[in-house]
Amino acid sequence: MAKHLKTFTTRVSGFLSPRHTVIDEDGKEIGVIQVRRNRLGMIVSGTWTPEKGEVLVFKRQPGLLRAQFACWTEAREWLGSSIRPGVMRRTVEISTGAKSVRLVPRLALGRGWRVVGAKSALVAQIDHGWLNRGAKIETFKKFDLELLLFSYFLGGLALWESALPTALEAVDRGTPQTARG
């Protein structure tokens, strides 16, 4: 596997409206993602509030498909959106206008996701333990923190779906050249 550039960890508190505190390599808190649910318990939005910088809002878009969210700045600048191409597919397509990435389950057994670029292969990996609620986020290529947090938020929506390894067809499309042999 490629050498990672940055590593972040998350600490989760709360149950119905969890707070995901993001911590950098130095152990410093860099911000919090607050998840919001509606009266029926469905996740409708999330807000990234950094220690310094711009606030981001992850909003559910109208539609029937799961993982149909958009990432906006507080000043209403669109940064990206996501969609799950099919009801039975476990991949989530994230479009930013300039580039697109996919969120696919890990190659091994365990909860977590890989962020895979269309041309750049593995961009980041998000690993969750079986029982703990926090995560370890590793980046392997230069990637915007905003999109990394958006990917983490989307992956948290369907975390148990990532427990089984990816299908063979998705492995070939989402694996870096070095891992394929």
Q: What percent of the chain has pLDDT over 90?
A: 39
C-alpha to C-alpha distance for 17 and 37, rounded to whole angstroms: 7
Give 32 or 175, the one with higher predicted confidence. 32
User: Mean pLDDT, to the nearest integer, of 138-166?
Assistant: 83
C-alpha to C-alpha distance for 132 and 121, rounded to whole angstroms: 28
Q: Is the pLDDT of residue 74 over 70?
A: yes
Q: What is the pLDDT of residue 140?
A: 92
Whole-Å CA distances, 19 to 11, 134, 136: 8, 11, 16
> pLDDT digit string (tens) for 112-137?
889 998 776 889 999 988 888 889 99
Q: What is the pLDDT of residue 170?
A: 47
| pTM for this prediction | 0.84
What is the C-alpha end-to-end distance of the chain, expressed in Å? Answer: 12
Q: Is the pLDDT of residue 97 over 70?
A: yes
Task: Show the domains of the chain with their CATH numbers.
Answer: 6-167 (2.40.160)
Q: What percent of the chain has pLDDT over 70?
A: 81
Q: Is the pLDDT of residue 68 over 50?
A: yes
> pLDDT digit string (tens) for 12-67?
998 888 999 999 999 999 999 999 998 888 888 999 999 999 999 999 887 656 66
